[in-house]
Chains A and B, each alone.
Chain A
Amino acid sequence: MIETIAASRCPRCDIVVAPPATYCPHHPVAMTPATLPGLGEVVSFTTLHTPPTGFRSPLHIAIVELRGGGRFVCHGADTRGLKIGARVAIEAIDNVYYFSHLGAMERARLFWRRTGHAGDRVNAIARSLAKRVWRSRTVNRGE
């Protein structure tokens, strides 16, 4: 299942931003609600070795451009093998967004929106990966 990301659109310049904003960042115009699919391409990423208090170290952060426009900031399990332009899926765990790198097979399946056993298996893999990240994050926070 592809995550739906809440966003907003500017009626003047058509820019889409996520999460939703009251006013367009570039114009004094009220934005209208929109949604974006939780799929996109990596614009940039970094691994922060000096994260702020309360975050695990090292901290992987990415800017992802979602399909339909709109750039999004999120965490990741790691950035090994990640490249600018890589296709990723975005998933929310406890209202925190994570990206997971899509392999060629998953990309193809998601693109063609195949459902059924194969689609379920891909979703299950993506979910368990995201859950693993979430668990290790809360362990490191000492919760």
Chain B
Amino acid sequence: MQPVFVAGVGMTRIGRRSEPLPALMAEAAHAALAEAGLEAPEAIVVATMNPEEFVGDGNFASNVATHMGFAHVPALRIETATSSGAAAVYTGFAQIAAGLRRTVLVVGGEKMTHLATPKVSEIIGRSIDPYERTYGVTMPALAGLVSRVLMARQGVSAREIAQVAVKNHANGARNPLAHFQHSVTVEEVLESRMVADPLRLLHCCPISDGAAAVVLSAERATVRVAGVGHGADTLAIRHRRELTSFAATRAAAREAYAMAGFGPERIDLAEVHDAFAPFELMSLEDLGLVPPGKAGRATLDGDTALDGRLPINPSGGLKARGHPLAGTGVAQIVECVLQLTGRALTRQVPAATHALAHSIGGLATNNWVTLLERA
């Protein structure tokens, strides 16, 4: 396999944006290409979850490529629900690793704040098992069902879950591109309105617009993609063998660590998919970053805070940095690269050499783990 390096990264501010989606993607892509010193990549991979319904346009790889003046650069679109960004990075990685391309621009993004929340929820809900959807099941409902078992059977407490949101907001306050840049307290989280019992508003990530991009290259650069793993699980939650652990994460992590040739003990920081606060706790254990049953304690003890021994979601995570759906998987990798190249400003994790990005697709049907190391 040809080694794959990250030659450039770029990202828009995440939040309510008025620019159309191609413009958001172009903003992120231009920044990444400029850093890579490239006018044009050999290929483009675009990640966007549902532009047909969010913005009324399809064939989006061609749409964005043409918009940017790359109509003659081969471009394709990748979709694995909410982990599409990570899947797109993998696709670009594979093209270079296989020796098919020398440079690939990967750009992910979404535009949805212009729609009413119930409509956005409905569109995101297309990722859910069709039968379960006929019972009104939404992403928050699935997360609520999982969280109830996590608390009742695994003993995870409301304070441990709330602390995830508090920590991520504190980190987001140090990220100029984050959707939310204010802090929240445990009390505010626990008193916020109920969404899907036991999950409250401040446990759930926002609806965001935005885009992020990376340029991958066969040419040596500071950061190398050390390993990528992809795991899958049943679409229907009623077919799952267990509810309080995501088999798709465990499979993705195993594959990524095996490819990279190192394990979780080498990781200095991780961007973890906290679409709902309890998912960060579950994922820390599924990724082998924390021993089973210890994620809540580690969070309360400050181990995963910015100044802790294993900072998790230094960007603010999905909760505070925001969740522009297909943009998120790429945004996580942008953060990892910024951290590994000393450009993370006031949220810099000192002397970081190994980073992990973890992305969940749907309700953990299609998960990715990407490992990056300072070469």
B122 at the interface (CB under 8 A from A): yes
CB–CB B118/A50 < 8 A: yes
Contacts A26-B234, A48-B141: A73 and B148 contacting too (C-beta < 8 A)?
no
Chain A residue numbers with a CB within 8 Å of B198 are: 46
| A96 to B122 CA separation, bound complex (whole angstroms) | 20
Residues of A within 8 A of B193 (CB): 49
Q: Interface residue count for A (Cβ, 8 Å)?
A: 28
Whether the Cβ atoms of B145 and A71 lie closer than 8 Å is no
Interface of B is mostly: helix
Interface stretch, picked from B58-66, B132-140, B178-186, B310-318, is B132-140
B196: A residues at CB distance < 8 A: 46-50
| A128 located at the interface, meaning its Cβ lies under 8 Å from any Cβ of chain B in the complex | no
B243 within 8 A of A: yes
Assuming the contacts A46-B196, A47-B197, A50-B118, asked whether A61 and B148 have C-beta atoms less than 8 A apart, the reply is: no
With both beta carbons as reference points, the residue of chain B lying nearest to A19 in the complex is identified as B131
Residues of B within 8 A of A72 (CB): 238
Determine whether the beta carbon of B236 is less than 8 Å from that of A84. no
Tell whether B1 is near chain A: CB-to-CB under 8 Å: no
Taking CB atoms, residues of chain B closer than 8 Å to A63 are: 145, 237-238
CA distance A143 to B237 in the complex (A): 30
Residues of B close to A51: CB separation below 8 A = 136, 138
- Min CB distance B41 to A, Å, is 38
Cβ of A74 under 8 Å from chain B: yes
A49 partner residues in chain B, CB cutoff 8 A: 193-197
- In the bound complex, CA of A47 to CA of B195 (Å): 8
| Complex interface: chain B residues within 8 A of A79 (CB) | 197
- By CB atoms of chain A within 10 A, which of B131, B144, B152, B243 has the most? B144
Find out whether the CB atom of A73 lies under 8 angstroms from the CB atom of B195.
no
Is A92 on the interface with B (CB-CB < 8 A)? no
**Are A59 and B136 in contact, with the CB atoms below 8 A?**
yes
CB of B238, distance to nearest CB on chain A (Å) = 4
Q: How far is it, in angstroms, between the C-alpha of A61 and the C-alpha of B131 when the chains are bound?
A: 13
Q: A48-B144, A48-B196, A52-B118 are in contact. Are A43 and B149 (CB under 8 A)?
A: yes
Distance in angstroms between the alpha carbons of A46 and B150 in the assembled complex: 13
Q: Which residues from 139 to 170 on chain B have a C-beta closer than 8 Å to any C-beta of chain A?
A: 140-141, 144-146, 148-149, 152-153
Q: Please report the total number of B residues contacting A with Cβ < 8 Å.
A: 34
Within the complex, the shortest CB–CB distance from A58 to chain B, in Å, comes to 8
- Check if B148 sits within 8 Å of A46, measured CB to CB: yes
Q: What is the bound-complex CA distance between A43 and B118, given in angstroms?
A: 27
A18 to B239: give the CA distance in the assembly, Å.
Answer: 9
The total number of A-B Cβ pairs within 8 Å is 90
How many Å lie between the Cα of A44 and that of B103 in the bound state? 48
| Contacts A19-B131, A73-B238 given; does A53 touch B144 at CB 8 Å | no
Q: Does B121 contact A (CB under 8 A)?
A: yes
Task: List, in ascending order, chain A residues with CB within 8 A of B140's CB.
Answer: 48, 50
Asked if residues A25 and B145 are in contact (CB atoms below 8 Å), the reply is no
A9 interfacial contact with B, CB 8 Å: no
* Residues in B neighbouring A101, C-beta threshold 8 A: none
Task: Please state if A52 and B138 are interface contacts (CB–CB under 8 Å).
Answer: yes
Tell me the complex Cα distance, A107–B141, Å: 28
Q: Which residue of A lies closest to B148 (CB)?
A: A44
Q: Find chain A residues with CB under 8 A from B199 CB.
A: 46
Contact with B along A36-58 (1 / 0, CB 8 A): 00000001111111111101000
Q: Given A63-B237, A63-B238, answer yes or no on A46-B197 (Cβ-Cβ < 8 Å).
A: yes
Docked-complex contact B149 and A44, CB < 8 angstroms? yes
Contact check, B122 vs A52: say whether CB atoms are below 8 A apart. yes
- In whole angstroms, how far apart are the Cα atoms of A63 and B153 in the complex? 15
Chain B positions 117 through 136: 1 when the CB is less than 8 Å from some CB of chain A, otherwise 0: 11001100100000111011
How far, in angstroms, from A25 to B235 measured CA to CA in the complex?
9
Chain B residues, Cβ within 8 Å of A25: 234, 236, 239
Inter-chain CA distance A47–B196, complex, in Å, is 5
Q: What are 19 A-B interface contacts by the 8 Å CB criterion? A: A25-B236, A26-B239, A48-B140, A48-B144, A48-B197, A49-B194, A50-B118, A51-B136, A52-B121, A52-B122, A52-B133, A52-B136, A59-B141, A61-B136, A63-B145, A71-B238, A73-B238, A79-B197, A84-B148
Q: Please name the 4 residue pairs, one residue from A and one from B, whose CB atoms are nearest each other, closest first.
A: A46-B144, A71-B238, A55-B136, A25-B239
B-to-A contact residues, CB < 8 Å: 117-118, 121-122, 125, 131-133, 135-138, 140-141, 144-146, 148-149, 152-153, 193-199, 234, 236-239, 243
A interface residue numbers (CB < 8 A to B): 17-19, 25-26, 43-53, 55, 59, 61, 63, 71-75, 79, 84, 96
Q: A25-B239, A45-B145 are in contact. List 15 more A-B contacts (CB 8 A).
A: A19-B131, A44-B149, A47-B194, A48-B140, A48-B196, A49-B194, A52-B121, A52-B138, A61-B145, A63-B145, A73-B131, A73-B137, A75-B135, A75-B136, A84-B149
